Amino acid sequence: MSQLIKELPWDSNHFKVKIGRYLPTTIADPDQEKSFRQEFFAGKFDCVYAMLDASDVHSREAAARNQFFLGDIRMSYALTKKDWFPKEPQRRQGTIPAEIRFLNPDNAEQVAQVKVLSRDLSVVSRFHFDERFRPYVADMYEIWAGNFIKPKTPTDLPVKTVIALKNGWVAGFIGNKIVEEEKDGQKVRHGEVVLVATHSDFRGQGFGRAMSEKSIDWCFEQGAEFVTVDTQGNNYQASRLYESVGFRLQDMKLIYHVWKQYGFNK
């Protein structure tokens, strides 16, 4: 029998309960549902994340019947190089009251400001909406941001954080990284936009758009063939921002937290 659940040691350690991820994107039929349940209890998991195809009827039925906790609808966007044609008059860089530039990872003060912003960003995540995770989520985002800016395990692949500086303060940031995959024996690169935030005092003034433009330019300069970004289904500002710079929706997944107390035990 193939393994359906993978343990997530980092998450387990951070949230202090045993966490795993259900690997398939559907619960295709009653047999698979039974196997999921068996592995869940055999592995003594407290919580398993399941990212399920929104269009699959049996998955939705299994999730509802077993009372899985719906944490998020993940919207996955992509922008291909051929569709990246920012027209000069529409560009925000240079037209907004902030300086858009790359973060210097050795600038301790600016790194600290990015970390504060990343804590604020945590409120839009599925971990914040699930009260069992909520006490740990701001710390998790701060750790992510810190690790992102200065990776603990050095990587050869480029990583870059774009910031919006307003009167010397970091008013927004976007984390970008390059990922490489083997495709038909060739290494193919794409960019991933992973953390995006504008300080609440400065939203709606074009900072997000200007930072996005610089981020996308950078990804394509690094040889990316396309750039991806994910956001939450209820995050309309983020969706509109991404669509306004050219990203297009590729996929939607229902993300469930399958808790021992509330899920299969019911």
Ligand X SMILES: CC(C)(COP(=O)(O)OP(=O)(O)OC[C@H]1O[C@@H](n2cnc3c(N)ncnc32)[C@H](O)[C@@H]1OP(=O)(O)O)[C@@H](O)C(=O)NCCC(=O)NCCS
What is the binding site for ligand X (CB under 6 A)?
121, 124, 172, 196-198, 203-209, 231, 235-238, 240-241, 244
Q: Which is nearer to ligand X, 176 or 205 (CB)?
A: 205
- How near is the Cβ of 44 to ligand X at its closest, in Å? 33
Where are any strands of DSSP class E within the chain? 5-7, 19-22, 47-53, 69-80, 99-102, 159-166, 169-183, 186-198, 226-232, 248-259
- How near is the Cβ of 27 to ligand X at its closest, in Å? 27
- How near is the Cβ of 67 to ligand X at its closest, in Å? 27
Question: Checking phi first, is residue 54 left (phi over 0); if not, alpha (psi -120 to 50) or beta?
Answer: alpha
Long-range contacts of 234-242 (CB under 8 A, 24+ apart): 234/73, 235/75, 235/124, 237/203, 237/208, 238/124, 238/196, 239/75, 239/77, 241/196, 241/208, 241/209, 241/212, 242/77, 242/212
Q: Which is nearer to ligand X, 127 or 207 (CB)?
A: 207
Phi–psi pair at 27, nearest 5 degrees: -110, 90
- How near is the Cβ of 115 to ligand X at its closest, in Å? 15
Q: Which is nearer to ligand X, 196 or 216 (CB)?
A: 196
Please name which of 92, 77, 213, 224 lies closest in space to residue 158, comparing C-alpha atoms. 224
Return the residue nearest ligand X (CB atom): 208
Q: Which is nearer to ligand X, 188 or 194 (CB)?
A: 194
- How near is the Cβ of 41 to ligand X at its closest, in Å? 34
Phi–psi pair at 133, nearest 5 degrees: -95, -20
Q: Which is nearer to ligand X, 4 or 103 (CB)?
A: 103
Q: Which is nearer to ligand X, 12 or 76 (CB)?
A: 76
Q: Which is nearer to ligand X, 45 or 242 (CB)?
A: 242
Residue 38 burial (CB count, 10 A): 13
- How near is the Cβ of 2 to ligand X at its closest, in Å? 32
Helix (H, G, I), strand (E, B) or coil at 175: strand
- How near is the Cβ of 241 to ligand X at its closest, in Å? 4
